[in-house]
Amino acid sequence: MVNLFKDKILLVFALSGVTFVALAVIGGFRMYSHVPFWDMWDGYLGFYVKVSAGDWSAWWAQHNEHRIVLARMFFWLDLGLFQGQGWFLLVINYILIGMACLIFWQAWKEKTTDGTPWVGYFLIAWLFSWSQENNLTWGFQSQFILAQLLPLAAFYFIHRAAAAGMHQSRDFYFAILFGVLAIGSMANGVLVLPLMTGYALLARMGWKRGALLAVLSAACLWLYFHDFKAPANHGSLTQALRDDPLGLVHYVLLYVGGPFSYFFGKEGVGQAVATIAGIFMVGSSAAFAWRIMPVAHKATLSLALLVFILYVGGTALGTAGGRLIFGVDQALSSRYMTPALMAWAALLLLYLPKLKAVSQPVRGKIWMPFLLLVLLMLPQQLKALGSKQDVLFEREIAALALELGVKDQAQIGNVFPSADWAQSISEVPIARNLSIFGVFPIKDARETVGRTTNETSRLDPLCQGGVDEVQSVEGDARYLRVRGWFFDPNRDMAPKSARLLDGDGVVQGIILTGQPRPDVASAIGPAAGGSGFKGYVQAEAQGKTLVLRDPEGDCQLAETVPAILFNSAKVTNSSLVSVSVSQIQPQNEWTGGDFNRSSIPGLAVFGSFINSDSDHGSIVLKLNRGDRLLYRSGPTGGRQFIQVVNNPELTALLPLATEWVQLEFSSELLPEVFEIKFTDKGDGWGEWSAVALKIQVN
């Protein structure tokens, strides 16, 4: 009966390990995208372009403070063999975490004979925790995992070289290999060989091995820091010690205790729990060091695990020195969870003899707290199943902007902080169809716009959809950003993309679908849930009727591109309003206000909300080009629009503005003096509109 119970407990932990790995893999699939993200633009595409042009120094060049040589090998393979599709890099990330599991599994087998057979499976679940999502799903992060895996391997093999065995020499050279390779992972890799030197002295491995490690340490440190340049806009350890020593300590504690914050949220209680966990980690490590140091030559595996924890602690301290200026909360970033998770795995193995000893008096129930820990981890792991389609869609639109050469900082900011820099980096990849720029429908989109097609004569079935909004692109007057939805009822699916054709068959723009549209799904069906689109159309197409055509299917949709009649901006100073109540034309139907019954000094509010949301109507204002007024709407939009009186081509949707915004009517499409009609046709919940105008005339 006892053995049967133990087998069931073992099965529970084994299933936990399998479940956590499976969920992590599913999360990787759900987050997969061809689009490079953040550092990948310069550190991945930019690096490949430089090396392809013959700049071999790019292999050793700094990326911030790091020399990511090994990760660049993976980048080179991904771009050279797989055209930068990115899936290879994600596979590498999961393989590297799997290799860490193998090392810890082997260390666990050396540490135990019986009593805790479930620990190995718990370690697998722990090391595949979704708290480190950033390192699993971002193709750039192999360097971050390597910066933990290689030191772990180096310390494990130097333990094997120090222990009695027939392969001591081979294991020692393996340890050296991993220690040298570590400097090509990240900056903290330079700590590995000096720590191995200290390990050799404590483990009494002989002066020859100690001297060799010391020489290699000095040589690698010199090589790494030769011609090294400290990155700008980062702090330093000395600065942090001088200006905020308590903040530095707090950052380190949060860093090493970070995985536990994900059980309770990264603020408030979560931070407190992480801080306590960090104190426990530091205190436990110090206690183990006190006991192990005198007998280090007899406890080589425990010493190796302790040195690895020290390495992670040194990493945390170095990170705190450079990143504390961004706030202590940054210590709980997802990418920092990988070293913390591995440090806790090492600490668990150090505690393993105690767990075995405790398990006897409590009849083996020592597994219960760890099963509780698995249950606490599960909600975070289940987040891997969540949809990231909205995030991935915005990244694809950013890539489309770069392909078309549209300087859309607001959109490109979803993948890289600088539109100018991203455009410069992407020119060669675009020309060579690398990465996302070699994937339909973004591939060759730049050459497609402006090209005349012969598709206008085809009699295609109709798609469903519409243009919801057109926006100007700040910094690029050639294009407009367009948003709406597009669905093919015949194939019961949203086409991947559409070309926007004018009456002469000229491609005026391109849109991509995939944006979640629950409103369309509720009206048409689940298949239309991703029918939302965004894209770009040439500014000259304002007011024209264009045909949205699916290049892969048969359907089309004719839509008029609304004109950009105004610029919308946050209200910074209500005194900038230039439109007065005297400019209201007769027969005004907006005799109410806004839902909040706003009172703004010096302004009068006129709105469609008289008695309820079901009220509707219009107001006509006589404006001069350049006039400004305030506008506000309910949380439900799409049925509020403006039209220049007697010119139906100059019609535009009003923005969804749950707070007051300033509308400036400075479009060159507008005459110098004109009448404009605000119409609210919404009669449902949240459908109302209001304007605020000057009471006094200057």
The CB density around residue 503, as the number of other CB atoms within 10 Å, is: 10
Cα-atom radius of gyration of the chain, to the nearest Å? 31
**Sheet containing 532-538, strands listed edge to edge, beginning at the edge strand earlier in sequence:** 464-472, 479-487, 532-538, 507-515, 497-501, 545-549, 556-560
Domain residue extents for the chain: 86-115+137-370, 451-562, 567-694
d(CA 559, CA 217): 68
pLDDT in tens, 104-157: 999 998 877 565 678 889 999 999 999 999 999 999 999 999 999 999 999 999
Angle between helices 300-323 and 337-359 (to 10 degrees): 150
User: Percent of the chain scored above 70 by pLDDT?
Assistant: 94
Please tell me the least confidently modeled range out of 9-13, 43-47, 401-405, 617-621. Answer: 9-13
d(CA 513, CA 497): 6
Average pLDDT over residues 589-604: 90
Q: State the pTM of this model.
A: 0.84
**Burial label, 606 (beta-carbon count in 10 A; 0-12, 13-18, 19+):** buried
> DSSP readout, 298-358?
G-HHHHHHHHHHHHHHHHHHHHHHHHGGG-GGGGG-GGGHHHHHHHHHHHHHHHHHHHHHH
Residue 483 has pLDDT above 70, yes or no: yes
pLDDT in tens, 48-90: 999 988 999 989 988 888 899 999 999 999 998 998 889 999 9
567-694 has the same fold as 451-562:
no
Single-letter code of the amino acid located at 458: R
The CB density around residue 601, as the number of other CB atoms within 10 Å, is: 7
DSSP state of 131: G
Residue 684 or 237, more confident: 684
The CB density around residue 459, as the number of other CB atoms within 10 Å, is: 6
CA-based end-to-end distance of the chain: 93
The CB density around residue 363, as the number of other CB atoms within 10 Å, is: 9
Which range, 218-232, 318-332, 576-590, 682-696, is most confident?
576-590
Q: Give buried/exposed letters for 123-150 (b at 16+ CB in 10 A, else e).
A: bbbbbbbbbbbbbbbbbbbbbbbbbbbb
Residue 613 has pLDDT above 90, yes or no: no
Q: CATH top-level class for 451-562? A: mainly beta
Strand 556-560 with 507-515, pairing: unpaired
Average pLDDT over residues 325-349: 90
Residue 535 has pLDDT above 90, yes or no: yes
Nearest to 653 by CA among 581, 579, 559, 547: 559
Q: What pLDDT, on a 0 to 100 scale, did the predictor assign at position 6?
A: 61
User: Percent of the chain scored above 90 by pLDDT?
Assistant: 47
Q: What pLDDT, on a 0 to 100 scale, did the predictor assign at position 368?
A: 81
d(CA 69, CA 55): 14
- Structural tokens at position 239: 């600065």
Residue 266 has pLDDT above 70, yes or no: no
Angle at alpha carbon of residue 496, lines to 495 and 499, rounded to 5°: 85
Angle at alpha carbon of residue 245, lines to 243 and 246, rounded to 5°: 125
Q: Give buried/exposed letters for 474-501 (b at 16+ CB in 10 A, else e).
A: eebeebbbbbbbbbbeebebbbbbbbbb
Domain 567-694 has CATH 2.60.40: no
- Structural tokens at position 344: 């806790």
Nearest to 296 by CA among 163, 207, 169, 172: 163
d(CA 472, CA 128): 44
pLDDT mean across residues, the chain: 87
Q: Give buried/exposed letters for 224-238 (b at 16+ CB in 10 A, else e).
A: beeeeeeeeeebeee
Question: What 3-state class would DSSP assign to 231?
Answer: coil
Q: Is residue 442 within 8 Å of residue 403, measured between CB atoms?
A: yes
Angle at alpha carbon of residue 387, lines to 414 and 445, rounded to 5°: 45
Residue 397 or 247, more confident: 397
Q: Is residue 104 within 8 Å of residue 349, measured between CB atoms?
A: yes
pLDDT in tens, 450-465: 888 876 545 566 888 8
Number of residues that this document lists for the chain: 698
